[in-house]
Structure 1
């Protein structure tokens, strides 16, 4: 009977909470303002006029990546998908999760298989994985825009345990705990959805 560690090595783990993220980034900019005063006495020396270069305001530089907003939306879906999968594995049940908000039925089928096996084995997953994900391909010109996410998945702190006792089930000796995964996503309406996740256990990161 497959363990969680073996399941991660198959076709697909998802959503989690990433550091992620999985989720959307917030840019924060700060600006320092300073003032100056002028001496009003008759014999005061005139204040030097600032050079044109120092007086001119700095123009905001354009975004280096015109697709950054869409990429952030893709990563937000990926992060949400993993977060909900972690919830499902923590109780060996997809009920009460929002997995369908972030993934298609094809992508969710493997999670359903994993959860079913965990229920039969009486196991759950404790902790959570970490990610280093980025969008490597994005084509927004298609009728259904799609994208590819590359992730360095670390499952060393996401361990399968016996549900009743909390006993940790060790990883198989040949199970890598940090390796590459890739995910496909499509934009359905205004929402990006994960359609497939593939693990690459032989590609360490």
Structure 2
């Protein structure tokens, strides 16, 4: 939910609690009628406290959106790699620029060579830095991805395409806020097996 929507909802809840409290106090004074009896705290109406959730900071919001985009990019890539669909429209949901071009070119090469991928890598993605520090528009992500269970096979006979095992690889990615407010991976670099 957008922080502005949260603030609006919070403001309207506070307003309702205030109006409800005022109405209950007015009703209590009308019912009382006996001005000689002392007021007791036990008979005062209690207003349930509204649980107000503080909106996320711009930094936490940027980190969350960047990680979502990064992991979403890999999910879309894995889905496309199952058939080496280098033209999948989903590739552009979370990737742009060099990152999108790299994904498409890799899938095209696999398609051309008759290869498909099976399985999914695991990810241990963490935010390394944000820029600027107050209201980020760029987030750098470091990931130790394990491709042990995500390997390439020949599409025609289902045999493994190479003899090399998968493994843990360091990935560095740049995720940037786009002009429409979305977050997309603009570039990434995948290191060799054993780099993390």
TM tier, smaller:
0.5 to 0.7
> Which structure 2 residues correspond to residues 75-114 of structure 1 after superposition, within 5 A?
75-114=67-106
**How high is the TM-score relative to the length of structure 1?**
0.62
The answer to which of 129-138 and 93-102 deviates more is 93-102
Q: For 1:95, what is the secondary structure of its paired residue?
A: coil
> Which structure 2 residues correspond to residues 183-202 of structure 1 after superposition, within 5 A?
183-189=173-179, 190-201=181-192
The answer to whether residue 111 in structure 2 is matched with residue 119 in structure 1 is yes
Q: Deviations over 1:89-118 (max 9, x none)?
A: 111113344121211132111122212211
* Displacement of 1:129: 0.5
Tell me how large the CA RMSD over aligned residues is.
Answer: 3.0
5+ long unaligned stretches in structure 1: 1-59
**Do the aligned residues in 2 keep the contact of 1:147 with 1:184 (CA within 8 Å)?**
yes
Question: Paired residue for 1:70?
Answer: 62
The answer to whether residue 125 in structure 2 is matched with residue 133 in structure 1 is yes
Q: For 1:204, what is the secondary structure of its paired residue?
A: coil
**Do the aligned residues in 2 keep the contact of 1:176 with 1:201 (CA within 8 Å)?**
no
Question: Paired residue for 2:36?
Answer: none
Q: For 1:115, what is the secondary structure of its paired residue?
A: helix
In 2, the alpha carbon distance for the partners of 1:142 and 1:91 equals: 42
**Do the aligned residues in 1 keep the contact of 2:62 with 2:136 (CA within 8 Å)?**
no
Larger Rg: 2
Higher relative contact order (CA 8 A, sep 6+): 1
* Displacement of 1:171: 4.1
**Do the aligned residues in 1 keep the contact of 2:59 with 2:135 (CA within 8 Å)?**
no
**Do the aligned residues in 2 keep the contact of 1:161 with 1:169 (CA within 8 Å)?**
yes
5+ long unaligned stretches in structure 2: 1-51
Relative to structure 1, the CA distance from residue 169 to residue 202 in structure 2 (aligned partners, 3 Å threshold; closer, same or farther) is closer
> Which structure 2 residues correspond to residues 37-48 of structure 1 after superposition, within 5 A?
none
